[in-house]
Amino acid sequence: MRRLARTALALSLSLALPAAARAGDRPSCDQNHPNAQNRAEDALKKGDSEIAKKVAKHSVKYAIQRWNLEGLVSEAEVDAAKDRMYSFLKWKLGSPSAVCGQWVSAGYGHFDKAYSDEAGALLIGIFRFEEKQPEIVVPPWLQKTLVAEAASSGPAIAAVLSTYGVPEAVAKPLGDKIAAELAKATERNTVGYYLPKEFDYDNRLLDAAVAARRAHTSQAVDPRTGPGKPQGARPTGPAPKGGTSGKAGTPPPKPPTKG
């Protein structure tokens, strides 16, 4: 046990933790947080990759709690976010062993503070990560919110993005791309911009995006049919008996035959 404790202490001294944590807006995590000794033992038993996957799953679950996303995101989105979060953490920290080391030394609480923003962004669809290159994405429903706040010019949209904590180096080109998309007469597409490795999602951007998606979802739900169906859609169930005449049991008239 002493050797395990020394291992945990050495990891904590040798690994530099990123200063990406933002305090003051996070609820206490509802999940189990093992102590340092249990973390060290678990890491020795399960290995780096398994622990890194556990950290990714925990981060996604905490993001759901933090932003009250239960019912707003689908099971498929949750599963995809867990997978992408694992890939993101490996890329961000360098390897599964680095993820595991930080977990042993600092626990889940460190990841709750430092990376729950990215987990939330993956969940609601404003962050895309495909193994090597992170990308901030702005779906049409978020474009609608930005236009309502800033009209449709690139600089105005960039200014709004800046108030959400997006740095100017990202906000300006992203604002221009959104403005170009808005100028199209066709249906809007999702707009994206590749991010530098040091980019850190700001909780203000998450707050705004979650509110926008919630508003979009509520508008898309017809109380007569429930979620997942467009407004005005017919309720599912057996078709009413009868034809076009409206009389029960009366078949529709036959089309005239050719003479």
Domain edges within the chain: 35-220
Tell me the mean pLDDT in the region 18-35: 72
**Residue type at 224?**
R
Structure confidence at residue 221 (pLDDT) = 54
Q: Count CB-CB contacts under 10 A for residue 237.
A: 6
- Residue 224, pLDDT > 80, answer no
Q: How far apart are CA 256 and CA 253, in angstroms?
A: 9
More confidently predicted of 208 and 237: 208
Name the band, by pLDDT with cuts 50, 70 and 90, for residue 40: very high
Q: Which of 55-64, 105-114, 164-173, 242-251 has the lowest mean pLDDT?
A: 242-251
Q: Read off the pTM.
A: 0.74
Structure confidence at residue 46 (pLDDT) = 97
**Residue type at 146?**
L
- Three-state DSSP string of 127-180: EEEECCEEEEEECHHHHHHHHHHHCCCHHHHHHHHHHCCCCHHHHHHHHHHHHH
Structure confidence at residue 17 (pLDDT) = 34
Kindly state the tokens that stand for 202. 């700001």
More confidently predicted of 19 and 54: 54
Q: How far apart are CA 177 and CA 154, in angstroms?
A: 7
Q: Which of 25-34, 54-63, 99-108 has the lowest mean pLDDT?
A: 25-34
Name the band, by pLDDT with cuts 50, 70 and 90, for residue 133: confident
Q: How far apart are CA 147 and CA 149, in angstroms?
A: 5
> What residues contact 227, with CB distance under 8 A and at least 6 apart?
217, 220, 221
Q: How far apart are CA 183 and CA 148, in angstroms?
A: 15
- Residue 197, pLDDT > 60, answer yes
Tell me the mean pLDDT in the region 28-57: 97
Structure confidence at residue 254 (pLDDT) = 55
Tell me the mean pLDDT in the region 75-93: 96
More confidently predicted of 16 and 93: 93
Average pLDDT of the chain is 80
* Residue indicated by tokens 């919110």: 145
- Residue 238, pLDDT > 60, answer no
- Residue 10, pLDDT > 60, answer no
Name the band, by pLDDT with cuts 50, 70 and 90, for residue 255: low
Kindly state the tokens that stand for 232. 């005005």
Name the band, by pLDDT with cuts 50, 70 and 90, for residue 148: confident
Q: What percent of the chain has pLDDT over 70?
A: 74
More confidently predicted of 186 and 101: 101
- Residue 16, pLDDT > 90, answer no
Q: Long-range contacts of range 152-157, CB-CB < 8 Å, 24 or more positions apart? A: 152/179, 152/182, 152/183, 153/179, 154/178, 154/179, 154/180
Q: How far apart are CA 11 and CA 115, in angstroms?
A: 20
CA distances from 121 to 67, 73, 181, 207 (A): 10, 11, 21, 10
